[in-house]
């Protein structure tokens, strides 16, 4: 069972807003918009993705490490997070 199922609707709503922002950048590029405006939009997308990522990281840690059902599950949850962070921080 996914630990995200409790808040999926909120996460999906955030992702849809991000998708709209990305589509806005695409439209701006197609219309040859000023690079300053495009960079502002990209910075906003990055901030939104960072916020979403932090929320999912936190939920994973709470569900699969802090509140794990047993020590094996806790160790697996921590190891999963370690591997994800190695990729995320490259």
Q: 59-79, pLDDT tens digit by residue?
A: 999 999 999 999 999 999 999
pLDDT at 34: 96
Mean pLDDT value across the chain: 92
The predicted pLDDT at position 8 comes to 86
CA atoms within 13 A on the CB side of 21: 19
pLDDT on residue 2: 56
Q: DSSP class of residue 3?
A: T
The C-alpha atoms of residue 18 and residue 64 are separated, in whole angstroms, by 26
Q: Average pLDDT in the 41-67 region? A: 94
Please give the model's pTM, rounded to 2 decimal places.
0.82
* Confidence grade of residue 28 (pLDDT, cut at 50, 70, 90): very high
Closest to 85 measured CA to CA, from 58, 45, 66: 58
**For residues 55 and 77, what is the distance between their CA atoms, to the nearest angstrom?**
16
What the block records as the tokens of 66 is 């802090």
């Amino acid at each position: 069972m996914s630990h995200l199922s409790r808040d999926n609707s909120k996460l999906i709503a955030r992702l849809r807003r991000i998708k709209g922002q990305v589509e806005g950048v695409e439209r701006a590029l197609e219309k040859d918009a000023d690079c300053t405006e495009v960079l502002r939009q990209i910075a906003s997308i990055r901030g939104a993705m960072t916020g979403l990522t932090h929320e999912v990281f936190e939920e994973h840690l709470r569900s699969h490490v802090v509140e794990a059902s047993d020590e094996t599950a806790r160790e697996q949850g921590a190891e999963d997070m370690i591997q994800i962070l190695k990729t995320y921080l490259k």
